[in-house]
Structure 1
Amino acid sequence: MSTQRVDVIIIGAGPVGLMCAYLGQICGLRTMIIDKSPGPLEVGRADALNARTLQLFELVNLFKELYPLGKPCNTSSVWSNGRFTSRQSTWWNELEGCLHKHFLMLGQSYVEKLLSEILEERKAGVNRLTIVENIEFLRDGCVTSLSNGEIIQSSYVIGADGSRSKVRSLFNIPFDIIRPQLIWAVIDGIIDTDFPKVPEIITFQTDTSDVAWIPREGEIDRFYVRMDKKDFSMEEVIGKINHAIKPHTLKFKEVVWFSQFSVKESVAEKFHVNKKVFLAGDACHIHSVNGGQGLNTGLADAFNLMWKLNMVINFNAPTELLQTYEDERRPIAQSVIKASGDLVRSTKYSNKGTHAEDYVKTVQKYAGSITGMGIRYGDQGISGSRIFDFKMYKGSIETRLYSILNYSHFTLLIFGDIELSLDIPEFVKIIQIYSQKQSTHFWADNTPYEDKAILVRPDSYIESCTSLENVESILFDYLARIYAI
Structure 2
Amino acid sequence: MGSVEKTIRHLDVLVVGGGPVGLITAFQLAKFGHASSIAIIEKHPKSSQDQYGRAITLYPRSSELLDQLGLADELAQECFACRATVSYDKDGKEVQGRGWYFMENMKDTQWDFALVLRQKYQEEIFRRRLREFGVGLEAPVELVSVSVDESVEVSGYKITAVTRNGDTGVEETIMCKYLVGADGGRSFVRRALEVPFDGSTTEDKWVRIDGMIETDMPKNRTYGAIESPTHGNVLWAALDHGATRIGFAFTAERQKVYTEFNEAAAVAEAVASVKPFKLEFKQVDWYTVYSVGQRVARSFFTKDCIFLAGDACHTHSSGAAQGMNTGLHDACNLGWKLSMVLKGLAPASLLSTYEGERLPNVQKLINYDKDISRLMTMQLPIGWKGDPNADPNEILGVVMEEASTFTSGLSIAFDINSINVKGSFESSSYPTPVSPGQRGPDVHLYKPGTNEITRLHSETPNNAKLYIVVFTGEPESTSAALKGFDKAVGKSKVLSDAKLPISWLTIPAKSGPSAFELLGTMPLGKVFYDSKQTAHTRYGVDLQKGGIFVLRPDGWVGTAAALKAEAVRELEVYFKSLLSIE
TM-score category (smaller protein): over 0.9
- Choose from 403, 409, 416 the match for 2:465: 409
Cα displacement (A) at 1:151: 2.1
Contact 1:411 1:430 in 2 (8 A): yes
* Partner residue in 2 for 1:394: 447
Larger radius of gyration: 2
* Partner residue in 1 for 2:394: 357
Q: Secondary structure at the match of 1:17?
A: helix
Residue 434 in structure 1 maps to residue 508 in structure 2: yes
Separation (CA, whole Å) in 2 of partners of 1:393 and 1:154: 45
Separation (CA, whole Å) in 1 of partners of 2:501 and 2:549: 15
* Partner residue in 2 for 1:65: 74
Cα displacement (A) at 1:51: 0.4
Residue 366 in structure 1 maps to residue 403 in structure 2: yes
Residue 131 in structure 1 maps to residue 184 in structure 2: no
Contact 1:204 1:356 in 2 (8 A): no
- 1:214 partner letter: A
Cα displacement (A) at 1:352: 4.6
* Partner residue in 2 for 1:459: 554
Cα displacement (A) at 1:476: 1.2
Separation (CA, whole Å) in 2 of partners of 1:438 and 1:406: 25
Separation (CA, whole Å) in 1 of partners of 2:85 and 2:459: 33
Contact 2:42 2:138 in 1 (8 A): yes
Residue 24 in structure 1 maps to residue 24 in structure 2: no
Query: What 5-or-longer segments of structure 1 have no aligned partner?
Result: none
Contact 1:384 1:462 in 2 (8 A): yes
- Choose from 225, 249, 253 the match for 2:248: 225
Taking only the aligned residue pairs, the percentage that are identical comes to: 28
Separation (CA, whole Å) in 2 of partners of 1:156 and 1:283: 16
Contact 2:297 2:313 in 1 (8 A): yes
Contact 2:86 2:101 in 1 (8 A): no
Cα displacement (A) at 1:53: 0.7
Contact 2:103 2:114 in 1 (8 A): no
- 1:5 partner letter: H
* Partner residue in 2 for 1:164: 186
Which has the larger displacement, 9-18 or 475-484?
475-484
Cα displacement (A) at 1:359: 1.9
Matches within 5 A, 1:150-229: 150-210=172-232, 211-229=234-252
Contact 2:106 2:113 in 1 (8 A): no
Structure 2 CA distance for partners of 1:482 and 1:248, relative to 1, 3 Å: closer
Q: Secondary structure at the match of 2:457?
A: helix
Contact 1:411 1:428 in 2 (8 A): yes
Matches within 5 A, 1:239-258: 239-258=268-287
- Choose from 298, 314, 323 the match for 2:327: 298
* Partner residue in 1 for 2:435: 382
Q: Secondary structure at the match of 2:177?
A: strand
- 2:31 partner letter: I
1:99-156 CA-partner distances (Å, limit 9, x unpaired):
1222111111122111111222221111111111222334113222222332222221
- Choose from 293, 313, 317 the match for 2:346: 317
Cα displacement (A) at 1:206: 2.3
- 1:157 partner letter: L
Contact 1:205 1:354 in 2 (8 A): no
Separation (CA, whole Å) in 1 of partners of 2:244 and 2:42: 29
* Partner residue in 2 for 1:102: 113
Contact 2:465 2:502 in 1 (8 A): yes
Q: Secondary structure at the match of 1:265?
A: strand
Separation (CA, whole Å) in 1 of partners of 2:457 and 2:221: 27
Query: What 5-or-longer segments of structure 2 have no aligned partner?
Result: 1-5, 165-169, 380-387, 417-421, 423-433, 476-481, 515-526
1:270-292 CA-partner distances (Å, limit 9, x unpaired):
01112201111111000000111
- 1:86 partner letter: Q
- 1:385 partner letter: Q
Contact 1:134 1:144 in 2 (8 A): yes
Contact 1:16 1:280 in 2 (8 A): yes
- Choose from 95, 100, 105 the match for 1:85: 95
* Partner residue in 1 for 2:367: 338
Separation (CA, whole Å) in 1 of partners of 2:17 and 2:513: 48
Cα displacement (A) at 1:383: 0.5
Matches within 5 A, 1:244-283: 244-283=273-312
TM-score (normalised: structure 2): 0.79
Separation (CA, whole Å) in 2 of partners of 1:233 and 1:129: 27
* Partner residue in 1 for 2:61: 52
Separation (CA, whole Å) in 1 of partners of 2:17 and 2:273: 39
Residue 146 in structure 1 maps to residue 163 in structure 2: yes
Contact 2:346 2:580 in 1 (8 A): no
Which has the larger displacement, 393-402 or 311-320?
311-320
1:312-335 CA-partner distances (Å, limit 9, x unpaired):
111342211111111111111111
1:363-396 CA-partner distances (Å, limit 9, x unpaired):
1111122101111001667000000001101121
Contact 2:440 2:555 in 1 (8 A): yes
Cα displacement (A) at 1:349: 2.7
Contact 1:27 1:310 in 2 (8 A): yes
Separation (CA, whole Å) in 1 of partners of 2:224 and 2:174: 48
Task: Compute the RMSD of aligned alpha carbons.
Answer: 2.2
